[in-house]
Amino acid sequence: MIRVLVNGADGRMGSQVVKAVYEDKELEFVGGVSITHIGADAGELAGVGPLGIPIREGLGQALEDIKPDVVVDFTAPRVIFDNAKTVISHGVDMVVGTTGLTEQQRDELGKLALQHKTSIFIAPNFSIGAVLMMKLATEVAPFLPDVEIIELHHNNKLDAPSGTAIMTANKIAAARQEAGAKAAPDKTHESLEGARGAKVDDITIHSVRLPGYVAHQEVLFGGYGEYLTIRHDSVDRKSFMPGVLLAVKKVSSRPGLTFGLENYL
């Protein structure tokens, strides 16, 4: 049994993780940490009934008291870097679903994990379909290098563009460069500031934030007299749970940093 502590256990994603871990016969939910609902039963918040495991305050103290095998973190971009350093310094493996870490921060955490002989897994998206969407996009890019990305999320998402959109742009740019494929110039010269979106690796990303959405992304490729659209939709946060559980079970197999769910598929 792998002992799992969930940081952000009372959040939209965290409560789903608690439920998924509780229902998996290979895993044991041993603790939940948050800054709200302190003392409330984590099982009741997750909808699985009372588990006798209260939400705790203070990640470091919880690690010392509970001694989990793996921490799953779904918290906020502003705290994830410090959270990760805390977990790694305690010699505990970590699965990170919180977005917002820069490449430099990921590299630093990977080196820290190696120093402490532990493992950290970071994924912009835990959906199997989203991983396949990115893979398909990289295969198309050398042949249709003109591309833009539209990502759509709920209005409570704190970062824009999404980590999935950034990772998609990174992968498409690398595939174009390897193939020596270049996009046609964008001749737009008059527009309102921001109307053409943000640029990541010279690929335009448009971010939509509206109530009712969960997590959605379109990759639009344009060609001469044709276009190709790859779209993925997560309509329920349950879609992320198979990927989270896979990462929890696999994280210890790779020392240091692993970035992206495709490494476990």
Do 242 and 190 share a structural domain?
Answer: no
From the candidates 67, 116, 154, 157, give the one annotated as an active-site residue. Answer: 157
Asked if 161 and 99 touch (Cβ cutoff 8 Å), the reply is no
Range of the domain at 208: 128-234
Do 94 and 111 share a structural domain?
Answer: yes
Chain centre to alpha carbon of residue 104: 17
Rounded Cα distance between 138 and 121, Å, is: 22
pLDDT tens-digit series, residues 7-45: 999 999 999 999 999 999 999 999 999 999 999 999 999
From the candidates 19, 153, 232, 250, give the one annotated as an active-site residue. Answer: 153
Do 58 and 7 share a structural domain?
Answer: yes
Do 244 and 115 share a structural domain?
Answer: yes
- Please name the amino acid found at residue 19: K
Number of domains, the chain:
2
Q: Which residue has the tokens 């563009």?
A: 161
Rounded Cα distance between 71 and 69, Å, is: 7
Do 132 and 115 share a structural domain?
Answer: no
Q: Is the pLDDT of residue 265 over 90?
A: no
Is 85 labeled as catalytic in the residue annotation? no
Domain with 189 in it: what CATH number? 3.30.360.10
Do 69 and 194 share a structural domain?
Answer: no
Q: What stretch of H or E contains 199?
A: strand 198-200
Rounded Cα distance between 157 and 163, Å, is: 11
Quick one: pLDDT band at residue 100, thresholds 50, 70, 90?
confident
pLDDT tens-digit series, residues 105-125: 999 999 999 999 999 999 988
Domain with 100 in it: what CATH number? 3.40.50.720
Do 114 and 11 share a structural domain?
Answer: yes
Do 248 and 226 share a structural domain?
Answer: no
- What is the torsional sign of CA 161, 162, 167, 168? negative
Do 210 and 174 share a structural domain?
Answer: yes
Do 116 and 69 share a structural domain?
Answer: yes
What would the two tokens of residue 140 be?
């198309």
Choose between 265 and 109: higher pLDDT: 109
Do 164 and 83 share a structural domain?
Answer: no
Rounded Cα distance between 53 and 117, Å, is: 29
Is 117 labeled as catalytic in the residue annotation? no
SS3 of 108-167: HHHHHHHHCCCEEEECCCCCHHHHHHHHHHHHHCCCCCEEEEEEEECCCCCCCCCHHHHH
Do 252 and 228 share a structural domain?
Answer: no
pLDDT at 191: 82
